[in-house]
Amino acid sequence: MRITIPLTKAYHLINHGACPVITTGDGQRRDAAPINWTMPVCDDPFLIAAAIADGNFTDTLIKATGEFVVNVVGEALAPALLALGGRSGKDGDKFDALRIAAAPCRTVKPPRLAEAAAHIECRVKEVHPLPGVNLYIGEATHAEVEEDAWDGRHLKLEKIRTLHHLGGGLFAVTASARRYS
């Protein structure tokens, strides 16, 4: 069972810097790729920045639709995340090739990853072309999380075990949270 989260609280889904999978699509073509350089930049309105290599298929589809979806994945999807990052959607549909299930979104055309613990639907507000990379600023239009992975304010990290990319396929896995204040 998935629950909708108020958009002003939804930054908590990616506040801790986990590597998400960004899904894209125009209704006919679709794609999914891990995009580690994704971060919240404002909570109201909820804005997300994602740095995406110029010309990869994710970039092509975001340019075509002005939409993308940030999927919050955990350790269970680590093999899928790596496989998605190891090939391009230009060479064929990754969902079919890797047998990864997609599900429709509520407010945008791209699909979401059916198995992701949470997702945030976004519309592009601004694009900043930089050398080799496009920095997309998306405004969230809808956010959902699996009910048993959300404590009302934060992700239950012990449930999801989010992945934090150190580089070269090495990940830190966050399985607990501690309060210091």
Question: In whole angstroms, how close is the CB of 122 to ligand FMN at the nearest point?
Answer: 15
> Near ligand FMN by CB under 6 A, which window of 5-13, 47-55, 66-74, 148-156?
47-55
Kindly state the number of chain residues that form the binding site for ligand FMN, as judged by CB under 6 A.
20
DSSP label at 155? B
**Which residues share a beta bridge with 14?**
none
> Per CB under 6 A, does 39 bind ligand FMN?
no
Say whether 150 sits in a helix, a strand or coil: strand
Q: How many CB atoms lie within 10 A of CB 2?
A: 15
Token couple for 7: 């958009």
> Per CB under 6 A, does 174 bind ligand FMN?
no
Choice between 3 and 115, CB closer to ligand FMN: 115
Cα–Cα distance, 163 to 8 (Å, whole number): 23
Cα–Cα distance, 152 to 25 (Å, whole number): 30
Choice between 5 and 38, CB closer to ligand FMN: 38
Q: What residues between 74 and 133 interact with ligand FMN by CB under 6 A?
A: 82, 85, 87-90
Question: In whole angstroms, how close is the CB of 2 to ligand FMN at the nearest point?
Answer: 25
> What is the number of the residue whose Cβ is closest to ligand FMN?
85
Question: In whole angstroms, how close is the CB of 148 to ligand FMN at the nearest point?
Answer: 26
Task: Detail the DSSP E strand segments found in 44-175.
Answer: 46-53, 67-72, 102-103, 112-113, 118-130, 133-146, 162-167, 170-174
Residues near ligand FMN (CB under 6 A): 19, 31, 33-37, 51-53, 56-58, 82, 85, 87-90, 165
